[in-house]
Amino acid sequence: MLNKFSIIGVPPFTRKPQGCLQAESTSENMPPSDIEAITSVLHAYGTALKERNAKETVELYTSDGVIMPPHFSASAGTQALSETYERIFNSIQLTITFDIDEIVLMSPEWAFARTTAEGTKTMLQTQASEPHSNQELFILKKQDGSWKIARYAFSTMKPLVQNGIRRS
């Protein structure tokens, strides 16, 4: 585990994450500040989720950014991302903790981060809660000197059979 942060009120780390990986071919060219900047983007994403703030969430993406949630079509571009996050935040409240498992700098402009998120998801309409356990992949792009989320995909880590019910 490289870094842990919670979106239920624990402040982001202020120290450099230990053990972050860098791609062999580019490790000499990538300053530690890139790892720190990417970590900051991930912390900001967690804060925006906690606050259910679609505007701040979307601002972390490139203008052609894409979210690829399971069981839904991908949403690409600022408008589609805004609509998707509004729908999400109008439907659920997440009380989760993120772990940053890996950050790999692939080039001066591209990186990826692998994370996990565990906690509780509450359906706002019914107030029913259930365990939340996802694995995520962020692909980030450096634009105008700042790291942004270019692509984001996630999938559940819940068991295929839970409480005798087989999930699809």
Asked if residue 65 is part of any domain, the answer here is yes
Amino acid at 97: T
Residues 61-82: b if buried by 16+ CB within 10 A, e if exposed: bbeebbbeeeeeeebbeeebbb
Please indicate, yes or no, if residue 64 is contained in any of the structural domains: yes
What's the CATH number where 124 sits?
3.10.450.50
Cα 63 to Cα 65: distance, rounded to the nearest angstrom = 6
Domain assignment present for residue 166? The answer is no
63 inside domain: yes
Query: Which residue has better confidence, 36 or 29?
Result: 36
Question: Hey, CA dihedral for 63, 73, 53, 139, is it positive or negative?
Answer: negative
What is the count of structural domains for the chain?
Answer: 1
Flag whether 167 is in a domain. no
Q: What single letter denotes the amino acid at residue 46?
A: G
Q: Which residues contact 68 (CB under 8 A, 6 or more apart)?
A: 74, 151, 152, 153, 154
Residue 80 near residue 153 (C-beta atoms within 8 A): no
pTM of the model: 0.78
Q: Is residue 162 part of a domain?
A: no
Residue pointed to by tokens 């498992």: 101
Has residue 84 been placed in a domain?
Answer: yes
pLDDT single digits (tens) 42-61: 999 989 998 999 999 999 99
Question: Please, which pLDDT band fits residue 23 given cuts at 50, 70 and 90?
Answer: very low
User: What residues make up the domain containing 56?
Assistant: 3-157
CA 168 to chain centre: 23
